[in-house]
Amino acid sequence: MTRLLASGRARTIVLALLFYVSVIGLLDGCAGGPFDRGRSALRAATEAGWRPRPLAAGPFTLLAVASPDAPGARSILRVYIEGDGLAWASRTRPALDPTPHDPIGLRLALADPAPGRRLYLARPCQFIEAGPDNACATPHWTSHRFSAEVVDAYAALLDRLARRGNVQSLTLVGYSGGGVLATLIAARLQAVDAVVTVAAPVDHDLWSRHHRVSPLVGSLDPLNNDAALAGIPQVHFLGGADTIVPPGLIDRYQARVAAGGRTAQVLVPEASHGCCWAERWPALWRRAASAIASVPPRRR
């Protein structure tokens, strides 16, 4: 029995069983810990036929929620990446658990009106506690949230899923810090055809200086990938009332990656950092899709 449980396949089976028990407990209102956060969004997803499951990504285990099968559109996949969640308990003290109270990235995925498959991915350490198959630690949601280790894990996972699913069109949609991660993944993954971000501090060095907080010293900087990013159609939505990611903070990023007219910045005047992106998403997504369709495809 010890040898069996030590095998990778057995660990995956056990992990999946424990995961589904946790989800069932959550939906029944009996769960504790990180699953208590985001309860309503996860319930809405399962009631709409979405399937939550754990996915191995490098040293991490990520919460994934997959949309129901979309007949006739299996070659299209849009991946929604969650924001940073509850990264800090105070200005100087990291949170013990980064699971978001309101998973806006998941609510965006649920509100997506377009045909095709959708996949939601939480960030490391969100919803799933650390353990033998989930080697996350505090730096993974603070200073190293965009580290090479994290980016490589997502890129390898998405490359594997795209190949197995015969995906021909892969679009990354990231909310807040998930948008930063989306740009870093896209710069190294040829399967990505477009990137859409929502309230994302894609120039996180400038963002840190603006808020007078410690720089993300263990994280990669999307601006170091400006040549690769310049070839990818992108739409960046920003809230006019957002004090967390004020619109002007991505101007330097756009100036560096806007070669060829592939990058659009869209201001949503009344939107703040947390409100009300999901409610507006059907219209905003159609606007993003139109902008992406109007520019030349990614240079391979």
Judge whether residue 185 has pLDDT over 70. Answer: yes
Is 200 part of a structural domain of the chain? Answer: yes
Q: What is the mean pLDDT of residues 41-59?
A: 93
Is 73 part of a structural domain of the chain? Answer: yes
Judge whether residue 206 has pLDDT over 60. Answer: yes
Confidence band for 152, pLDDT divided at 50, 70 and 90: very high
Confidence band for 71, pLDDT divided at 50, 70 and 90: low
Judge whether residue 262 has pLDDT over 60. Answer: yes
Higher pLDDT, 27 or 83: 83
Judge whether residue 22 has pLDDT over 90. Answer: no
Contacts of 264 (CB under 8 A, 6+ apart): 234, 235, 236, 291
Contacts of 207 (CB under 8 A, 6+ apart): 201, 245, 249
Tokens representing 168 are: 């021909």
Provide the pLDDT for residue 6.
33
Provide the pLDDT for residue 1.
27
Provide the pLDDT for residue 69.
75
Mean per-residue pLDDT of the chain: 85
Judge whether residue 29 has pLDDT over 90. Answer: no
Provide the pLDDT for residue 288.
96
Judge whether residue 53 has pLDDT over 70. Answer: yes
Task: Name the phi and psi angles at 297, rounded to 5.
Answer: -65, 170
Domain count along the chain: 1
Percent of the chain scored above 70 by pLDDT? 85
Judge whether residue 282 has pLDDT over 50. Answer: yes
Is 138 part of a structural domain of the chain? Answer: yes
Of 32-46, 72-86, 273-287, which range is least confident? Answer: 32-46
> Are 268 and 240 contacting, i.e. CB atoms less than 8 angstroms apart?
yes
Of 29-43, 66-80, 144-158, which range is least confident? Answer: 29-43
Judge whether residue 175 has pLDDT over 50. Answer: yes
Is 264 part of a structural domain of the chain? Answer: yes
Q: How many residues does the chain have?
A: 300
Judge whether residue 92 has pLDDT over 90. Answer: no
Is 268 part of a structural domain of the chain? Answer: yes
Is 275 part of a structural domain of the chain? Answer: yes
Provide the pLDDT for residue 109.
97
Q: What is the mean pLDDT of residues 232-249?
A: 95
Q: What is the pTM of this model?
A: 0.89
CATH of the domain at 57: 3.40.50.1820
Q: Show the domain range for 64.
A: 39-293
Tokens representing 85 are: 């969640």
Is 88 part of a structural domain of the chain? Answer: yes
Which segment, 4-8, 20-24, 275-279, is predicted with the most confidence on average?
275-279
Judge whether residue 294 has pLDDT over 60. Answer: yes
Percent of the chain scored above 90 by pLDDT? 64
Q: How far apart are CA 177 and CA 284, in angstroms?
A: 19
User: In Å, how far are 118, 196, 275 from 281, measured between CA atoms?
Assistant: 14, 12, 11
Judge whether residue 170 has pLDDT over 90. Answer: yes
pLDDT tens, residue by residue, 97-130: 999 999 999 999 999 999 889 999 999 999 988 8
Considering only CA atoms, which of 204, 184, 211, 166 is closest in space to residue 76?
166
Three-class DSSP labels, the chain:
CHHHHHCHHHHHHHHHHHHHHHHHHHHCCCCCHHHHCCHHHHHHHHHCCCEEEEEEECCEEEEEEECCCCCCCCCEEEEEECCCCCCECCCCCECCCCCCCCCHHHHHHHHCCCCCEEEEECCCCCCCCCECCECCCHHHHCCCCCCHHHHHHHHHHHHHHHHHCCCCEEEEEEECHHHHHHHHHHHHCCCEEEEEEECCCCCHHHHHHHHCCCCCCCCCCHHHHHHHHCCCCEEEEEECCCCCCCHHHHHHHHHHHCHHHCEEEEEECCCCCCCCHHHHHHHHHHHHHHHHHCCCCCCC
Is 30 part of a structural domain of the chain? Answer: no
Judge whether residue 34 has pLDDT over 70. Answer: no
> Are 201 and 180 contacting, i.e. CB atoms less than 8 angstroms apart?
yes
Higher pLDDT, 95 or 1: 95
